Chains A and B, each alone.
Chain A
Amino acid sequence: MSRREKAWWIVGGILIVLYALSPIAWIISLSLKGSSDIANQSFLPTKAVWDNYTQIFTGTASDLFLPALRNSFGICLIATGISCLLSMFAAYAIARLDFRGKRLILSAALGVAIFPVISIVTPLFNLWRQIGLYDTWPGLIIPYLSLTLPISIWTMSAFFREIPWEMEQAAQVDGATTWQAFRRVIVPLAAPGVFTTAIIAFFIAWNDFAYGISLTSTSASRPVPAALGLFSGASQFQDPTGATAAAAVIVTIPVVLLVLLFQRRIVAGLTNGAVKG
């Protein structure tokens, strides 16, 4: 690549990053504006204040926001955990075993993944109310599993396929049962895949709005995205924009943290040196 070309790539890259980050910058800036400042017609707040944050954590919006935050964390973590565990076994079987209906499982998983959420919400709403799952944690965890499992199975089986068969055969010859070989050799080797899958699954669950708003009614199980939609201003005539922006910033933080924390592990080529490099 010539210098000139390189310079263009850099400029282009910066432009794209700016473009992608501008909404986030905008949200952060909004969250720091006082209520009278919101419509100041400029990007930066005239004076940065923490009012919005105090409002959602200790003020009027806190009854709405704090339980929602707890719900979101709890529900998403549980859904991610279950989905990782299940998809690990499913993906292992898909990558390693030859059985009838393997393709069917994969394509069904894909089918479920692309099925529009909104078309299931209404029947689920009715069903959940009948069997008492409406507005409970399991009532959200189960539909979240349907969102996260397909993609988890797909990513995880891609990772399992990368692990050389011989690893496992070596373990078996060394005296391991199938389960021991799986737990002591395959799972550690698949760890980057498990992390990646977990993060993707967590994001999907974390971002859900449709299920969150339709299958809950109180702070018993309402997740953050749904709660954000219910924020109201201090008075009838005031927009809740500032508080919503502040909550949005707070919700983004775990996502960013997760990625920063685990990007090493995700990228780490743990299988290096397993076979002749």
Chain B
Amino acid sequence: MASIEMKNIVKQYGDGFPAVNDVSLDIADGEFMILVGPSGCGKSTLLRMIVGLEDNTSGDMVIGGKRVNDLAPRDRNLSMVFQNYALYPHMTVFENIAFPLRLSKTPDDEVRRRVTEASDVLELKEHLDRKPANLSGGQRQRVAMGRAIVRQAEAFLFDEPLSNLDAKLRGQMRTEISRLQRRLGITTVYVTHDQTEAMTLGDRVCVLRKGKIQQVASPRELYEQPVNLFVAGFIGSPPMNFLPATPKGTGLETPFGMVELDERRAAKVKGHDLVLVGIRPEYFEDASLVDEARRPLGSTFKARVDVTEWLGDSQFAYIPYEAPEAVTAQLRELSRELDSEELRTQAIVSIDSTSRIREGREAEFWLDTRKVHVFDPQSGENLTRDAEAGAELTRLATQDRVEQVEESKARQGGATSVGAA
């Protein structure tokens, strides 16, 4: 088990394209780090540089305190689960899992013991004599994991391991991976573009855009204190609404009326003439359902609802609004980059599922203004980010992780577990 440090890592492919551009990232021992970002942002490239399948053009890769730039993959002692599993089709499940041990010339009975242990953990026992071709997707995925955990690797690397599974299995395997990681307490780097995986699995999440790190933080910090438009728009589903606004007095004038800001935020916004307010769908509510005590914490406005979607446990309403040309172009560009569908100038708001608001009618909404963020439309920077509050969130998450790892170590008496025997 080891920490992974990346210092100013750059990767230029043969054609000069900088797939990874000056990335510096420290991953602590035992930490679960997620790499997310839209397609083509360099996640896989970065992962493959950690494992040594790709050389870095410049910068240093340090694993467990040792500079590994010039080490071949086999000398780095990391294990990796590939997106399409890359199982060896000519070997049985047993031999697939045993392969790393066979390469290191482990004695036969030791191999048998370790493979049995790994297959117990992954519930593969009755499939050990079968060939990968005859297994289901989930089983193949587990064989790939078995091959990863069977030896004492310094870290696990996953490249979108669940993207080939159907939704239900994905959920199952997600909890499985999380449990396994906590239990083994092993450093893990996990590439995904699935929101849920990023938010639920990661101790910290690293958001990449065009080969550059945007923000590295706990899921909560990313959600509540994003550094810029890109992160704010990328994290959260349905995505954050960005409304054009102009500062006026201590508040902002938006298509949905005035939004009052507290002193700290008002001071930061001062001096800008056009800004974007970022409001998460759940900051809205059907005004008639908000109790009197909460009402003064936000503002109310009337708007015509275009479409409503009732999902049983929740309900979404779409409210169109007018926006100046300069902002719409900017928003369209952003949504294209985030791979989201063409963002029309409409707000998605989440309302209580019992709400009687109907399509095509005018309705009154309440907007919780306490947590809205204000962005500079040109640079995309979050003007109202509270760095301290964010850091506190991440500190809490780190503390949780350390406690969990300690607990799991104590439970196992610090002794035998798969891969740590």
The chain A residues found within 8 Å of chain B, CB to CB, are 164, 166-167, 169-177, 180, 185, 188-189, 191, 270-277
Q: Is the CB of B89 within 8 A of A273?
A: yes
B74 A275 Cβ-Cβ under 8 A: no
7 interchain pairs (CB within 8 A)? A173-B80, A176-B74, A185-B88, A272-B89, A273-B135, A276-B164, A277-B133
B401 near A: Cβ within 8 Å? no
Q: Say yes or no: A275 contacts B85, CB within 8 Å.
A: yes
What 5 pairs between A and B have smallest CB-CB spacing? A273-B133, A170-B86, A275-B84, A166-B86, A174-B100
Q: Which of A170, A171, A188 has the most CB of B within 10 A?
A: A170
User: Is A189 in contact with B90, judged by CB distance below 8 angstroms?
Assistant: yes
Does B73 lie within 8 Å of A173, measured CB to CB? yes
Is the CB of B329 closer than 8 A to any CB of chain A?
Answer: no
- Least CB separation from B80: chain A residue: A173
Shortest distance between the CB of A99 and any CB in chain B (Å): 13
Q: What distance in Å separates the Cβ of A270 from its nearest Cβ neighbour in chain B? A: 6
Q: Known: A173-B73, A175-B74, A271-B89. Contact between A276 and B79, CB under 8 A?
A: no
The listed residue (A169, A175, A274) touching B88 by CB distance below 8 A is A274
Q: B250 to nearest A CB, angstroms?
A: 56
Contact yes or no, A276 B137, CB < 8 A = yes
| Contact residues in B for A271 (Cβ distance below 8 Å) | 89
CA distance A171 to B79 in the complex (A): 10
Residues of chain B within 8 A of A275, CB atoms compared = 84-86
The number of chain B residues touching the other chain, given as a range, is 20 to 34
Residues of B within 8 A of A270 (CB): 89-90
- Chain B hits for A180, CB < 8 A: 103
Q: Chain B: which residue is nearest A275 at the CB level?
A: B84
Scan residues 71-125 of chain B and give those whose CB is less than 8 A from a CB of chain A: 72-74, 77-80, 82, 84-90, 99-100, 103-104
> Which of B79, B84, B137 contacts A174, CB < 8 Å?
B79
* A contact residues around B135 at 8 Å (CB): 273
Which residue, A175, A177, A191, has most C-beta atoms of chain B within 10 A?
A175
Q: Does B147 contact A (CB under 8 A)?
A: yes
B79 touches which of A173, A185, A189 (Cβ 8 Å): A173
Contact A172 B74 (CB under 8 A): yes
A273 adjacent to B99 (CB under 8 Å) = no
Q: Among residues 127 to 181 in chain B, which have CB atoms less than 8 Å away from a CB atom of chain A? A: 131-135, 137, 140, 147, 151, 164
Contacts of A189 in B (CB 8 A): 88-90
Contact A174 B103 (CB under 8 A): yes
Q: Say whether B78 contacts A173, CB under 8 Å.
A: yes
Closest Cβ neighbor of B54 among chain A residues:
A169
Name the interface residues of B26-82: CB closer than 8 Å to any CB of A.
51-53, 72-74, 77-80, 82
Cα of A276 to Cα of B132 in the assembled complex, Å: 10
Contacts of B103 in A (CB 8 A): 174-176, 180
Contacts of B51 in A (CB 8 A): 173
The one of B82, B90, B131, B137 in contact with A170, judged by C-beta atoms closer than 8 angstroms, is B82
What is the minimal beta-carbon distance from B105 to any residue of chain A, in angstroms? 10
> A171-B99, A174-B99 given as contacts; is B86 within 8 A of A274 (CB)?
yes
Distance (whole angstroms) from the CB of A271 to the closest CB of chain B? 6
Residue of A nearest to B135 (CB): A273
User: How near does chain B come to A19, taking the closest CB pair, in angstroms?
Assistant: 39
User: Once the chains are docked, how many angstroms separate the CA of A173 from the CA of B85?
Assistant: 13
Question: In whole angstroms, what is the CA distance A1 to B73 when docked?
Answer: 54
Cβ-defined contact, A273 with B74, below 8 A? no
Check if A167 sits within 8 Å of B100, measured CB to CB: no
Partner of B104, one of A171, A175, A273: A175
When distances are taken between beta carbons in the complex, the residues of chain B under 8 Å from A276 are 84-85, 137, 140, 164
A174 touches B147 (CB 8 A): yes
Residues of A close to B132: CB separation below 8 A: 273-274
The CA-CA distance from A177 to B104 in the complex, in Å, is: 11
Q: B74's closest neighbor in chain A, by CB?
A: A175
Residue of A nearest to B78 (CB): A173
State how many angstroms separate the Cβ of B80 from the closest Cβ of chain A.
5
Cα A245 to Cα B147 with chains together (Å):
59
Which listed residue, B53, B88, B147, B164, touches A172 by the CB 8 Å rule?
B53
**Are A164 and B74 touching (Cβ within 8 A)?**
no
